[in-house]
Structure 1
Amino acid sequence: MTTMRTLVLNAGYEPLTVVSFKRAMVLVMNEKASVIEHVEGDPVWAGRNAYERPVVILLTRYVRVPSARRIPVTRRGVLRRDDHRCGYCGRNAATIDHILPRSRGGADSWENLIACCLKCNNLKSDRTPQEMGWQLRMAPRQPRGTAWTVRGTERSDPRWEPYLALAA
């Protein structure tokens, strides 16, 4: 059986995170969450109680979430945001590039990093796109949406879609 994952919703139905089946069962058994969507049949037995296998759970108490959830900048995240396409030529990208090079004070930020193919990265070196006469194919910015703010939804279950759509 594949590892089952469960979407956790805040008390206001806002998607929070994705947890393992085991963690979801602990929340349900301790009455910290209730099951909203479950797998039909095949319940989980604990003592004399039968529990539905959770797919989506709702927390019984509201959890305060910082309003400005900052998405950490990572190499994998930049490549994912740019769909693994070079920001300069559009070919398949395997590296990332600082638009304003670090040697000139360029920051490791969503706005200064772009996916880049090896050829463009080597050609550009420590110059700016303007110095090379290049145009960016897109304006780099911090990603938005539940796929970025709710951890674990990149491999989502189709039964989660109605709850993720509410937050988008």
Structure 2
Amino acid sequence: MEKRVLVLNLDHSPVAVVSPQKAIVLLLLEKANCLSVYDLLQIRTVSRSFAYPAVICLNHYKNIPYRGVLLNRVNLFRRDRGECQYCGSKKQLTIDHVVPRSKGGKSNWTNLTTACHRCNVLKGDKTPEQVGLTMQTKPFKPSLAYFLSEYAERQAEEWLPFLNGKVENLKFEV
């Protein structure tokens, strides 16, 4: 699996996550400086070898407008770590409105959660308290820092020293 590269703005706030090829291009064009590399990894060409960048910093400040985290099925399941928030099951997951829509519940980060099919049917058109269900974690609106830190802990420890600030405008490049 190919490691990704964290791109920081001139003020060291994260602005993007890019492929190593894109990072090398930015470095060769002198549009960025390398701040951290992955140990024991290299990028090789026919005639040259490069250290595998982990974190690069742009040489000029880029103004990036605010974009929040999209509320979608993938991000909701990611926030809830792919398990039912009532019983902990990882099978037959669905999306549940904590306060049902019929009772005025909205479709937002703080009212949606993952639930297994069994718990969702048991809960039905009631609140968790009405049927005796307790939630493992209270639903919250995640920031991009939440998802980025989770990725860094699993696959890019080199990023962690650079993630102590806000990460609201981050863009993932495929």
Contact 1:71 1:149 in 2 (8 A): no
Contact 1:73 1:108 in 2 (8 A): no
Deviation at 1:66? 3.6
Contact 2:6 2:17 in 1 (8 A): yes
Over 3 Å counting, the alpha-carbon distance change for 1:145 and 1:103 in structure 2 is same
2:106 counterpart residue number? 107
2:35 counterpart residue number? 36
Q: Given the alignment, which residue of 82, 85, 96 partners 1:84?
A: 82
| CA–CA separation in structure 2 for the residues paired with 1:101 and 1:31 | 54
CA offset digits 1:124-151 (Å, max 9, x no partner): 2233334434343332110246233689
Q: What are the ranges of 5 or more consecutive residues in structure 1 without an aligned counterpart?
A: none
1:167 aligns to what SS in structure 2? coil
Deviation at 1:120? 0.6
| CA–CA separation in structure 1 for the residues paired with 2:16 and 2:111 | 28
Q: What are the ranges of 5 or more consecutive residues in structure 2 without an aligned counterpart?
A: 167-174
2:171 counterpart residue number? none
Contact 2:99 2:111 in 1 (8 A): yes
Matched, 1:75 2:73: yes
Equivalences, count: 164
| CA–CA separation in structure 2 for the residues paired with 1:86 and 1:43 | 41
Q: Which runs of 4+ in 1 moved over 4 A?
A: 39-47, 49-52, 149-155
TM-score (ref. length: structure 1)? 0.76
1:17 counterpart residue number? 16
| CA–CA separation in structure 2 for the residues paired with 1:60 and 1:127 | 55
CA offset digits 1:144-164 (Å, max 9, x no partner): 462336896575312222112
CA offset digits 1:98-145 (Å, max 9, x no partner): 112334543221111012111111122233334434343332110246
1:60 counterpart residue number? 59
Contact 1:96 1:114 in 2 (8 A): yes
Deviation at 1:87? 2.4
| CA–CA separation in structure 1 for the residues paired with 2:87 and 2:118 | 10
Contact 2:69 2:144 in 1 (8 A): no
**Sequence identity (%):** 35
Higher mean displacement: 20-29 or 133-142: 133-142
TM-score (ref. length: structure 2)? 0.74
Contact 1:34 1:60 in 2 (8 A): yes
| CA–CA separation in structure 1 for the residues paired with 2:133 and 2:126 | 11
Computed over aligned residues only, the root mean square deviation of the Cα atoms, in angstroms, reads 3.2
Q: Which has the higher contact order (CA 8 A, sep 6+)?
A: 2
